């Protein structure tokens, strides 16, 4: 390892990020808007410095409190699905975590509301998003299973935690014509799931198998 790598320059360089983008493309991410945002979002700023050398690997990493920053492929895939039908104007994110997915969404979508149930994670995410000039993102310490009723309806809803059923409040807060993306299933058999709302009709599609941290109840 060179001195520059230790200083965090080589390991977060343009070439390192380009390698991640190439890998995501190989794994099927095709939307150039998503690949551009992944290329330009400094993922190393959303994790502990001690892990920064792994920031552009395609893996989830621990962020404390038993939670993880999502794998870049998962962030890219969920984002691609969320904007597939058109850019949603108002987006609700459940599970801010490190704030990395929030930052990716904030580049693409005009209005983001993001909830996190673990206060220290939310505090850190807020600092990072402010440092990146993304202060317009609305963050709330709350149970995302209840959605964010005062701001509903949302054109897009993205949850970064999984459970066997989609919370009824999230379905109710999805706008007519809107789309929800969330991992659904038991811990060992979760699938990325897309729900499109047309009036009172909710059309559900089950996509790739994934593994997310659990969607929990209440706040901490």
Q: Return the active site residues.
A: 70
Do 90 and 156 meet the contact criterion of CB atoms below 8 Å apart? yes
Do 98 and 128 meet the contact criterion of CB atoms below 8 Å apart? yes
Rank residues 143 and 155 by Cβ distance to ligand SAH and give the closer one: 143
Q: For 13-21, which contacts have Cβ atoms below 8 Å and span 24 or more sequence positions?
A: 16/56, 17/56, 19/56, 20/56, 20/57, 20/58, 20/72
Among the listed residues 41, 80, 103, 116, the single contact to ligand SAH using CB under 6 A: 116
Q: Which of residues 155-184 bind ligand SAH (CB under 6 A)?
A: 160-161
DSSP 3-state of 119 = helix
Letters for 5-44 (x = contact with ligand SAH by CB under 6 A, - = none) are: ----------------------------------------
How buried is residue 15: exposed, middle or buried, by Cβ count under 10 Å (0-12/13-18/19+)?
Answer: exposed
Among the listed residues 72, 88, 145, 156, the single contact to ligand SAH using CB under 6 A: 145
Among the listed residues 12, 41, 68, 193, the single contact to ligand SAH using CB under 6 A: 68
Among the listed residues 69, 81, 92, 139, the single contact to ligand SAH using CB under 6 A: 69
Q: Which two tokens mark 27? A: 């794994």
Do 182 and 162 meet the contact criterion of CB atoms below 8 Å apart? yes
Stretch that binds ligand SAH, among 3-11, 111-119, 127-135, 202-210 (CB under 6 A): 111-119
Rank residues 88 and 145 by Cβ distance to ligand SAH and give the closer one: 145
∠ CA 161-162-163, nearest 5°, is 140
Stretch that binds ligand SAH, among 33-41, 68-76, 177-185, 189-197 (CB under 6 A): 68-76
Q: Please, what is the minimum distance in Å from the beta carbon of residue 199 to ligand SAH?
A: 27
Per CB under 6 A, does 114 bind ligand SAH?
no
Per CB under 6 A, does 215 bind ligand SAH?
yes
Among the listed residues 70, 79, 173, 190, the single contact to ligand SAH using CB under 6 A: 70
Q: Which of 53, 51, 56 is nearest to 20 (CA)?
A: 56
Residues 6+ apart with CB under 8 A from 125: 46, 96, 97, 98, 99, 102, 114, 116, 139
Stretch that binds ligand SAH, among 14-22, 32-40, 168-176, 209-217 (CB under 6 A): 209-217
In order of 34, 41, 62, 124, 201, the CA distances from 161 in angstroms are 21, 22, 14, 19, 24
Contacts with ligand SAH, residue ranges (CB under 6 A): 67-70, 94-95, 97-98, 100-101, 115-118, 121, 143-145, 160-161, 213, 215-216
């Amino acid at each position: 390892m060179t001195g520059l790598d230790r200083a965090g320059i080589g390991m977060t360089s343009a070439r390192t990020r380009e390698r991640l983008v190439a890998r995501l493309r190989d794994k099927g991410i095709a939307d150039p808007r998503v690949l551009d945002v992944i290329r330009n979002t400094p993922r190393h700023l959303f994790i502990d410095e001690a892990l920064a050398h792994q920031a552009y690997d395609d893996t989830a990493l621990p962020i404390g409190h038993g939670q993880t920053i999502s794998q870049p492929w998962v962030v890219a895939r969920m984002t691609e699905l969320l904007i597939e039908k058109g850019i949603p104007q108002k987006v609700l994110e459940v599970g801010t975590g490190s704030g990395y997915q929030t930052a990716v969404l904030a580049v693409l979508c005009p209005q983001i509301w993001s909830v996190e149930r673990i206060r220290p994670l939310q505090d850190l995410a807020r600092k990072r998003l402010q440092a990146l000039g993304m202060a317009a993102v609305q963050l709330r310490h709350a149970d995302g299973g209840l959605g964010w009723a005062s701001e509903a309806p949302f054109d897009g809803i993205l949850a970064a935690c999984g459970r066997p059923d989609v919370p009824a409040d999230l379905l109710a807060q999805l706008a007519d014509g809107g789309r929800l993306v969330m991992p659904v299933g038991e811990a060992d058999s979760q699938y990325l799931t897309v729900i499109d709302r047309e009036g009172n009709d909710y059309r559900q599609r089950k996509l790739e198998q994934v593994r997310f941290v659990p969607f929990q109840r209440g706040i901490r």
